[in-house]
Structure 1
Amino acid sequence: MDLTYFLDRFSEPAILTAGGFLAGAMFGGFAQQSRFCLRAAALDFAHGVFGVRLSIWLFAFSAALLGTQLLVGFGEVPSQEARQLASPQSLSGAALGGVMFGIGMVLARGCASRLLVLSATGNLRALLSGLVFAVIAQASLRGILKPVREWFAGLWTTAEIGGNDLIAHLGLSQTVVLGFALLWLAAGIVIAIKAKTPLWQAIAACGAGLAVPLAWWFTASVASQAFEPVQIEGITFTGPSADTLMLFLSPAQSALDFGIGLVPGVFAGSFLAALFSRELELQGFEGGRSMARYGAGAALMGFGGMLAGGCAVGAGITGASVFAVTAWITLSAIWLSAGLTDFALNGRPAKTASAQPVVGTS
């Protein structure tokens, strides 16, 4: 991607912010239309329901994996320069943070990205939960919870196992990696056919997933042409949510970058998608007890996501797309803890088919 025209006329931070906004808008719009939600997919899977919601997650996940690895294979994205692979990551943080995030996701009835998407449609429960998530994420990144996070993160790191690159650890070829990604896509197609997933919903899910390789490609292009060092990155919401919060609280101390544009981009994309599909609707809390549950869940996700090095999208999809060991640990921990938390709260319901598109809950 030749960005010479823009780099000659605009600052690099401004270009990164604009790119983050566009990638976020793409993700937000498609996520809203597809009802993309890891919580819904994880709970359906835990209950033995292989239906619409699981197929949607599989489409988004496989699109991100396949798109990213194709770009890596063609030399467009130097994955070894990604934060997840270029520096030591926390294995203990990935496991514990993933568990905390999964529990919080069930309590708050949505992961960080889902809360942001729902906030834009008028869901005040999701909006307040998202603010709690951002505050705790900021406290964990630079505030009062930072020492606690660093202590847990330092218990076991990837430096002790020789790096965070799963492909290198397993000695996989690019062909095998692409084949692995295609297996996830095939699983999504099979489940979608059986569940009769609407075609537009499936396409939208793929669109949400493709926002991840788009982000990798864009930031890699800027990094290769910019004068100043630029970190290549995909889509994540824990760090950017904390940074966006600080932008509003202390603009003078905040720097523009890809993540700063990402969060408002997702909000805008989701809002426009809901507006055109006439799905804007104000929703609030039903009582104090539910408010406490949402707040506790958001807090767990804020700390857990920062400890794990990413949220359900940041670690679970973006990190997994470059095959970071910690990302796959986090993703597994989220799925497992979400299912166990739901069983603890609600018991195991009777197995039912889920063949109809499900409107996102929060």
Structure 2
Amino acid sequence: MDVLSLLELVDEATLAALFGLLTGVVFGVAAQRSQFCLRAATVEFARGRLGQRVAVWLLAFSTALIWVQGAALSGLFDVGEARMMAVAGSWSGAIIGGLMFGAGMVLARGCSGRLLVLAATGNLRSVVSGLIFAVVAQMSLHGWLAPLRGWLAGLWVTPGGANVNLLTALGLPDAAGLVLGMAIAALAFVLVRRNGLGLSTMVFASGVGFAVALGWVLTYSLAQVAFEPMAVTSATFSGPSANTLMFFLTENPELDFDIGLVPGVFLGALLAAAWGRELKFQGFEGEGQMRRSMTGAALMGFGAMLAGGCAIGAGVTGGSIFVATAWLALFCMWVGAGVTDWLVDQGGLGQRVPA
């Protein structure tokens, strides 16, 4: 059944939300079963190890590159119509926001996407941190923090009112993205063998990347036939978390892809955790951990909106279409996370602070 047939059954906004729900469920199941987490990968790397967490992240990232670039080459998706490529990007936002987000996810012990997945398994720490993340993200988008975000983002922006495609800027052919994805996948498989990852972990880690490609293709397909303008987007958790929060707090809310995405991830992770018998209530272990997690969530909320996306939105979704500021933000997230882990958890400040 094609998109036009589906539009005979439901309206455009509802279909967009259903596409978001489907993308979210796939992402939630895959992320929960593979334990996909950028924070864990960056900490592992910062401590001089190329272990299971790095292998899982590279598998997810490379799969997203391969599927998305393959879809673009086959005509199922046009990178130029992606929302984050069609608007001006911020170099300063990517740097400052990326560093803040990286530091925040180490303090909170998970990026925004990971917090949502953990919340579905009964982790009350993630519920609290996730709510703080969503509130601060909303404040940064439309609230009291919006002027500061706008000023920082405006310090250094991409020219021409649009973002920069790295492949085009470097003069590389369209197929270069697919080739790079395959090269990263080869490195991931080397680490998979070295660390003894099982087949199921490999499949579910790849499923994270597939979910990103699924979102791109579904929203692009809908945008081509919709009467009203539809955003071409995919998995990200900064804007959607804020929008989902406001959806339940405002009168006459509107449906779109973002509104379906967040509940979809929660549902997928819940089902996967139930299947694996991993549902368990967990709380804060002390006042110090609570302060740390809340501080990290606030840093991530502002940092993600400033950087143009979170660890998933910029790091994987934006990276998969070679948005230049997304790659810069991802690099800064790794740097921010590594430095924070060294300062806070490895004793760089003179003593190790318990997580």
TM-score computed with the length of structure 1 as normaliser = 0.94
Q: 1:163/1:271 Cα in 2 relative to 1: closer, same or farther (>3 Å)?
A: closer
Q: 1:284 to 1:93 in 2, by over 3 A?
A: same
- Measured after TM superposition, the shift of residue 160 of structure 1 is 6.9
> Offset of 1:134 from its aligned partner?
0.1
The verdict on how the C-alpha distance between 1:348 and 1:61 changes in structure 2, with shifts beyond 3 A counting, is: farther
- Is 1:189 the counterpart of 2:166? The answer is no
Moved more, 174-183 or 98-107: 174-183
Consecutive unaligned residues of structure 2, counting only runs of 5 or more, are 349-354
1:236 and 2:212 are equivalent in the alignment: no
Match of residue 37 from structure 1: 37
**1:6 positional shift:** 1.3
* 1:311 is the counterpart of 2:326: no
Q: 1:181 to 1:290 in 2, by over 3 A?
A: same
- The residue number in structure 1 matching 2:330 is 331
- 1:216-267 superposed Cα distances (whole Å, 9 cap, x missing partner): 0000010011111111001100000000000111142x21100000000000
Note if 1:168 corresponds to 2:160: no
Count of aligned pairs: 349
Cα distance in structure 2, aligned partners of 1:117 and 1:340? 25
Q: Distance in 1 between matches of 2:11 and 2:160?
A: 39
Contact 2:65 2:177 in 1 (8 A): no
**What is the aligned partner in structure 1 of residue 351 from structure 2?**
none
Q: Which residue of 1 aligns with 2:50?
A: 50
User: Does structure 1 residue 104 correspond to structure 2 residue 98?
Assistant: no
Task: For residue 80 of structure 1, report the CA deviation from its aligned partner.
Answer: 0.4
SS in 1 for 2:105: helix
Q: Is the 8 A contact 1:29 1:272 kept in 2?
A: yes
Corresponding residue of 1:321? 320
- Asked if 1:342 is matched to 2:341, the reply is yes
Deviates more, 1:202-211 or 1:340-349: 340-349
User: What amino acid is aligned across from residue 196 of structure 2 in structure 1?
Assistant: K
State the match for 1:142 in structure 2. 142
After superposition, the C-alpha distances for 1:112-151 in whole angstroms (9 at most, x for unaligned) are 0000000000000001000000000000001110000000
Q: Which amino acid aligns with 2:310?
A: C
For the residue of structure 2 that corresponds to 1:42, the secondary structure is helix
Contact 1:105–1:111 (CA<8 Å) still a contact in 2?
A: yes
Distance 2:346 2:19 in 1: 44
2:34·2:201 contact (CA, 8 Å) conserved in 1? yes
Deviates more, 1:215-224 or 1:175-184: 175-184
State the TM-score, normalizing by the size of structure 2: 0.96
Give the superposed CA RMSD.
1.4
> Given that residues 87 and 161 in structure 2 are in contact (C-alpha distance below 8 angstroms), is that contact kept between their aligned partners in structure 1?
no
Distance 2:94 2:52 in 1: 28
- What's the CA shift for 1:73? 0.6
Point out where structure 1 has 5 or more consecutive residues left out of the alignment.
350-361
Q: For residues 32 and 162 of structure 2, what CA distance do their matches in structure 1 show?
A: 39
* Cα distance in 2, alignment partners of residues 164 and 348 from structure 1: 39
Is this contact kept in 2: 1:84–1:164, CA < 8 A? no
Task: Report if the CA contact (8 A) 1:47-1:348 is conserved.
Answer: no
What's 1:284 paired with? 283
Q: Give the percent of matched residue pairs that are identical in Structure 1 and Structure 2.
A: 50
